[in-house]
A = this chain, B = another copy of it.
Amino acid sequence: MQRVKYSAYLDKIQSPEKAAILIKNHHILGVSGFTKAGDSKAVLPQVAKRALFEDLKVTVMSGASLGYNTDADLAKNGALYKRMPFQADPTLRKSINNHEVLYVDQHLGQTADMFQKIDKFKIDIAIIEAVSITEEGYIVPTTSIGNSPIFAENADKIIIEINTTFPESLEGIHDVKVLKKQPNREVIPVLESDTRIGDPFIKIDPAKVVAVVYTELPDSPAVIAAPDEKTKAISEHILKFLENEVEEGRLTESLLPLQAGIGKTANAILSGFTNSKFKNLTMYSEVLQDSTFELFDSGKLLFASASSMTVTEGCSKKVFSNFEAYKDKLLLRPQNISNAAEVINRLGVIGINTAIEVDIYGNVNSTHIAGTKMMNGIGGSGDFARNGYLSIFACPSMSKEGRISHVVPMVSHTDHSEHDVDILVTEQGLADLRGLAPIERARVVIENCAHPEYKAQLLEYFEDAYKLGGHTPHSLEKAFAWHMQLKTEGTMKVKDYACNEIEVKA
């Protein structure tokens, strides 16, 4: 009981099942959780269970994706009316794409500001995971902060999940500040990755707390494929590029704070820094993966700031069994501060994110397969790509045994326009697009990034379109022909179309 140091909460302690009864049909819930870290593991899953037996459809707002099968079960059991601002679950994805769940995909740095603008998202109940409760009744979060502070502020009621699997020594790694509404918005005075500007807990109104539950489920572990040939090649291209920037005096050996997206590619890229010439690195990111801890262990990384820690089972053991070794090098922030345009620009973050597909002019699709089907969401990629010092997007040049080219004539959906993309990189090579006009960009993207099996085909598209003129040459008839052919014939390799005359390349 000693994790709850505020005695007035003691008689609120109850089972997750009982606490979940407070959640009613049509409720709007704001839940903790960011890329599977620090999410509601006890109460929210009960909503999914109840939805099997009663009319229970809720709106769920989170930091980012949730762990285990929470999103899957909510979706499968019909418990979700609306979901925002991010998800990454295959079952929920299917429900979104079938129009069973409404999904509002948002820049992760911007959800917090929504509450002052839209009344209809007034939160009925916030569910927030805590490692402990302070003497004032405030929440010490676990492995993520996400949107929890703004949810708590805007909620009528709060349910707290005390998770005893995390060491209480997590207390101290959080830095929480709730920004004022405009026109009273203040400067966000983060001047370095490690600047502290707030409290090590989430200040809440204790009167809002209606239930406290206990759980000991750990975060669902990240599952990250080991670096392979392709992701290693991508990592090497980026390191070589950055080394050259240092040689030419535009950056120093400690670079600028790094941000890396989530997943295999981003993790492999960061791991690559372990054996690089760089030193005294820092991170100002939204998620920390295994590679962050590898970099700490190698002595390359001085400090990392993010909104969550999402690590594999092995890494989790390493970190939490020896937490004091990492504690003073880590800081977790609310996501509207980890992803604040103001701070990302001031610090000059180097943003490294992953694309579903890119086009020859440098536009990036991060979210929609074939322009229509939601994959995960834009996440924080836009916050970093728009505002950082350098915006890098990586993807394989080709996949599915060559049936899909990730470099296409025109992206089927635009998340990041050419204005927000400095560098494109695939295992084939890297294109530095800074200061180039679209027709210059096309040549370097095709030359450096496309897979040899698709180069001729891309060049032919570009040259045909070029003849038609235009700052950004396109032939609208053919712009999506490859995507269409993938659907009808299972490959983007061109042979013959109803609507165009591109010919097969041997």
Q: Which residues of A contact B (CB under 8 A)?
A: 82, 84, 96-99, 102-107, 110, 113-114, 116-121, 181-183, 185-187, 189, 191-192, 248, 250, 256-257, 340-342, 345-348, 363, 368, 370-374, 378, 382, 386-387, 389-390, 410, 412-415, 417, 419, 422, 434-437, 439-440, 465-466, 468-474, 476-477, 479-480, 483-484, 498-499
Contacts and interface: CB of A to CB of B under 8 A. Distances in A.
Contacts of A371: 410, 470, 472, 474, 476, 479
Contacts of A498: 498-499
Closest 3 CB pairs of A and B: A182-B348, A372-B470, A374-B471
A96 B121 CA distance: 46
Nearest to A120: B435
Nearest to A473: B372
Given A102-B439, A183-B256, A373 B469 contact: yes
Nearest to A255: B183
B414 A363 contact: yes
**Copy number in this complex?**
2
Nearest to A104: B437
Contact of A99 (B341, B348, B386, B466): B466
A483 B474 CA distance: 12
Contacts of A479: 371, 480
Contacts of A470: 97, 368, 370-374
Among A121, A183, A257, A415: residue with most chain B CB under 10 A: A183
A390 B110 CA distance: 12
B480 A103 contact: no
* Chain A interface helix/strand/loop/mixed: loop
Contact of A413 (B96, B185, B472): B472
Contacts of A341: 341-342, 345, 386-387
Nearest to A110: B419
B390 A117 contact: yes
B185 A187 contact: no
A248 B412 contact: no
Contacts of A469: 97-99, 372-373
Interface-central residue, A257, A342, A473, A479, by most chain B CB under 10 Å:
A342
Contacts of A117: 250, 389-390, 422, 434
A185 B120 contact: no
Given A346-B342, A417-B415, A476-B484, A250 B119 contact: yes
Contacts of A483: 476
A377 B317 CA distance: 52
